[in-house]
Structure 1
Amino acid sequence: MRRLELPEQWERVPELRQRVEDLLKSGRRRTALDEVLRHLRHDPESTDALVLALTFLGQSRTETLESVEPMPDVQRWCALLAPIMTECTACHVAWYSNHVLLRHGGITDMAMANPVGLQCQDCRYTLCRDCLARGRAQSHAVPVDMVEFADQPCPASGCNGTLTTPVFPTGCHDVTPMDPNEIEGVIVARDGLIPPTMDEALVPVTKFLPLIADDAPLIHIRRSIPGLMSDESTREELARSLVLEMEREMAITSAAWARSERMFIRAGTANDTDYLIIVVRKDEHHPSPRRGTRVLTYTYLVQVLPRRGTWGTLRDPHSGDFREGTFGAVAVPEGTLADIAQKIIGQSTMDLKHRVLFFEGDRTKDEKLSFADVYGVVTQGSDIVSPYSDDSA
């Protein structure tokens, strides 16, 4: 498990620090954590980003609840934050402790009553408050309101240390180490008849994989059948059928099964019920062109070329709105627009030439969308983002 070992000095990221500090001053913790997670998505080893996250994730539950922007689970327990999590060795419950920041700030005496957990200062064996209570005999010789300090011998075999404070990060045992830029797609199925929404699927995906909410375009939600997740053999059959289905739809490249990893997440660990998550790595022999790392937001608009005429948009004849599926916004890794365009075009059933126009940012509410603002164009079958032109070629 990778865990934060705070050095005496580390490289600061001034721009990120300024943005986060400004947001925290106005109580916008969710937006501040979004900034940190986007930075970690690009640079997961950034000590400064991890320190910034711990400064407000390690705050009290009351402070968190009173925040103007409470942080959802898809943020709080993101796998990119695993190095600053503290995990109970016995039950694997996780929490955030800011003791490592206090120690770096010069505070060495951290004796406290009713701590969230205790840790061995020799081997870093850690127990949460509940596991400590289960292993400690109830004292009846003192008043009920008297503070009892919980320091006790370390239960780890061969260790002569003591469970006490401070409590430092341990990392998280169930995070799958993986370069997010090597992921071609993530298939998600939930046990039962009703598939999860994207928001629901993001919770277990981001908890176990180093992805963020901006990576939603990589996630493919599929239906399951009750009972198919009951044992390993049926889960493997389900996983194989879902991978083959994605290949037939040309949503992932061929021979994906050999590049896939399967994760079965039980209800006690997931947000609601059992999940099957299939991670498909990119094909090294057929890489997507110019795959970038930064996740940016683009607005797309589909145009078609009649056999006689010029490029035009598809609109509903009654409302005048763009036809469903031809206009929207996507948050995707920089450099993947050509791939995204071909997937959008592939959803059309019209036997006409297509192209996709991309605008920077989310402009779905922009009533004065101008073709002069087009960032680039991808024509059907092309892997190149070209400058905008009204030419019918």
Structure 2
Amino acid sequence: MAVTSMRRFELAEWKRSPRLTDLRNTVVGLLAEGRHRTALDEALRGLRRDPEHPDGLFVALTVLAQSRTARLTSPEPLTEAQQWNALLAPVTTACSSCDGRWYSTHAVMFTDNDVEIQPTNPIGLQCQKCRYTLCRDCLKAQRPTSYTLSVDAPEVVAASCANRDCGGRGLSAPVLPTGRPDVTPMDPDAIEGVVVVRDGPIRPTTEEALTVVTRFLPLIPDDAPLLHIRRARPGTLGDGAARDGLAQSLLLDLEREGVLAPASWGRSRRMHILAGPGGDGDYLIVPVQRSRQRVPPTAPHTVSSPGTYTYLLQILPLRGGWATLRDPRTGDFHEGTFGALSAPPESLPGLAQDLIKRFERMGRSRRVLFFEGDRTQQNLSTDDVYGIGTEGGTSLSPYSEGP
């Protein structure tokens, strides 16, 4: 299975695809019946199996390149969620100035033979060297206003590439895909689960969650069983540390339920999406990659009951013994290095690795001390250490002063 990079697609790659395939024949038949939505669904299912397959991308772009009239009068018009699915990122064209996006038909025109394009009212123009692109509105904004030309004089659209390496090269056609930088590259089959949280007391529906998830992750509605939808207290998603804390708590809950393999925090990414594509509220999307270690089927039944533990991250300076990260003015612990959590004891080594990785920028050896119970408001003693998670360790060790 290829891992999609969501990069721009190159014209030469179209020609590696066979002239006729089952997918092409199916989609052509559906388009002849005006069934645009079903046609794009078939293309997306093909891309879900192989995100970088040239034929799947070509067929999808063929559907998206249908005329606006054909799409509007179709008995099955395309949905917004379909049109901006993350699997279509490689064939998306984005304006380099305003980030406006569209699907250019020029790539389809160049499939068989090179043709010369001289558009009179282009939706955009592009540098043929680096693919710096400007949409129609940005091109017009750069054109100086003339007070001498006749009102019915033809408009001349022209602009130059803004990249220094191109030496002021003029923009022209064809306008080819540029890719989408906001899509998270990930192998769809490597996704173990996706936690979806919306800011506010109302839990999003599966359809609302899918609209957001499929826009930024290479998934389709068939992947709905992967979603774990939750709600959040209003304002919780406004702070990065609060989002991380919420995500970690939800992942631990799913681990205790046996839905996710242990140490899921280290395999996750946090994506904060402002106001969502539908403007219905901020979202936190947490995709989790599958663990490389196989979890036995009985794992959900053998997980211990969760306990409460206090954690303390320590750093080993170049000189001296282990030290804690504190604000020199207030004496408070650095955010994320000290706190309490609820987790089964067997998950503590994995949690220690997650904390250690978060502070790898320190460039020093790190370890995590665990204490039983919530000791955040009490004095800590080395005699009370439950165990130590060391860098790269898979189990807790007894307390020691040395590195």
Is the TM value for this pair above 0.5? yes
Q: Is the 8 A contact 2:44 2:87 kept in 1?
A: yes
Q: Is the 8 A contact 2:211 2:277 kept in 1?
A: no
Partner residue of 1:256 out of 264, 274, 277: 264
Q: Using a 3 Å threshold, how does the CA distance of structure 1 residues 98 and 189 change in structure 2: closer, same or farther?
A: same
> Is 1:281 equivalent to 2:286 in the alignment?
no
**Which residues of 2 match residues 262-341 of structure 1 at below 5 A?**
262-267=270-275, 269=277, 272-286=280-294
CA RMSD for the aligned pairs? 2.0
Q: Is the 8 A contact 2:11 2:110 kept in 1?
A: no
Q: Is the 8 A contact 2:158 2:170 kept in 1?
A: yes
Give me the whole-angstrom Cα distance separating, in 2, the residues matched to 1:164 and 1:233.
46
> Is 1:128 equivalent to 2:135 in the alignment?
yes
Give me the whole-angstrom Cα distance separating, in 2, the residues matched to 1:105 and 1:92.
30
Secondary structure at the residue paired with 2:171? strand
Q: CA offset at residue 287 of structure 1?
A: 5.4
Give me the whole-angstrom Cα distance separating, in 2, the residues matched to 1:229 and 1:284.
30
1:201 aligns to what?
209
Q: Using a 3 Å threshold, how does the CA distance of structure 1 residues 288 and 22 change in structure 2: closer, same or farther?
A: farther
Partner residue of 1:182 out of 190, 193, 198: 190
Q: Using a 3 Å threshold, how does the CA distance of structure 1 residues 288 and 212 change in structure 2: closer, same or farther?
A: farther
2:44 aligns to what?
37
Q: Using a 3 Å threshold, how does the CA distance of structure 1 residues 270 and 126 change in structure 2: closer, same or farther?
A: farther
What amino acid is the match of 1:66?
T
1:23 aligns to what?
30
Q: Is the 8 A contact 1:27 1:69 kept in 2?
A: yes
Give me the whole-angstrom Cα distance separating, in 2, the residues matched to 1:278 and 1:76.
23
> Is 1:95 equivalent to 2:99 in the alignment?
no
Identity %: 51
1:53 aligns to what?
60
2:119 aligns to what?
112
Q: CA offset at residue 6 of structure 1?
A: 2.2
Q: Is the 8 A contact 1:3 1:84 kept in 2?
A: yes
1:150 aligns to what?
157
C-alpha offsets along residues 151-188 of structure 1, whole Å, 9 cap, x if unaligned? 21112223222112210011111111111111000000
What amino acid is the match of 1:10?
R
Structure 1 portions without partners, runs of 5+: 290-393
Give me the whole-angstrom Cα distance separating, in 2, the residues matched to 1:134 and 1:81.
29
1:241 aligns to what?
249
C-alpha offsets along residues 218-274 of structure 1, whole Å, 9 cap, x if unaligned? 011101111111121222122122212222332222211111111111127565332
Q: Using a 3 Å threshold, how does the CA distance of structure 1 residues 136 and 228 change in structure 2: closer, same or farther?
A: farther
- Higher helix proportion (structure 1 or 2): 2
2:230 aligns to what?
222
Give me the whole-angstrom Cα distance separating, in 2, the residues matched to 1:152 and 1:240.
49
What amino acid is the match of 1:280?
V
Q: Using a 3 Å threshold, how does the CA distance of structure 1 residues 185 and 86 change in structure 2: closer, same or farther?
A: same
**Which residues of 2 match residues 350-369 of structure 1 at below 5 A?**
none
Q: Using a 3 Å threshold, how does the CA distance of structure 1 residues 153 and 184 change in structure 2: closer, same or farther?
A: same
Give me the whole-angstrom Cα distance separating, in 1, the residues matched to 2:53 and 2:146.
45
TM-score, with length taken from structure 2? 0.68
Structure 2 portions without partners, runs of 5+: 1-5, 298-403
2:7 aligns to what?
2
Larger Rg: 2
Give me the whole-angstrom Cα distance separating, in 1, the residues matched to 2:279 and 2:50.
27
Give me the whole-angstrom Cα distance separating, in 2, the residues matched to 1:109 and 1:123.
19
Q: Is the 8 A contact 2:139 2:159 kept in 1?
A: no
Secondary structure at the residue paired with 2:113? coil
Partner residue of 1:172 out of 180, 188, 197: 180
Q: Using a 3 Å threshold, how does the CA distance of structure 1 residues 185 and 118 change in structure 2: closer, same or farther?
A: same
Give me the whole-angstrom Cα distance separating, in 2, the residues matched to 1:83 and 1:22.
25
Secondary structure at the residue paired with 1:146? coil
Q: Is the 8 A contact 1:202 1:216 kept in 2?
A: yes
Greater mean alpha carbon deviation, residues 159-168 or residues 270-279: 270-279
Q: Is the 8 A contact 1:186 1:279 kept in 2?
A: yes
Give me the whole-angstrom Cα distance separating, in 2, the residues matched to 1:279 and 1:268.
16
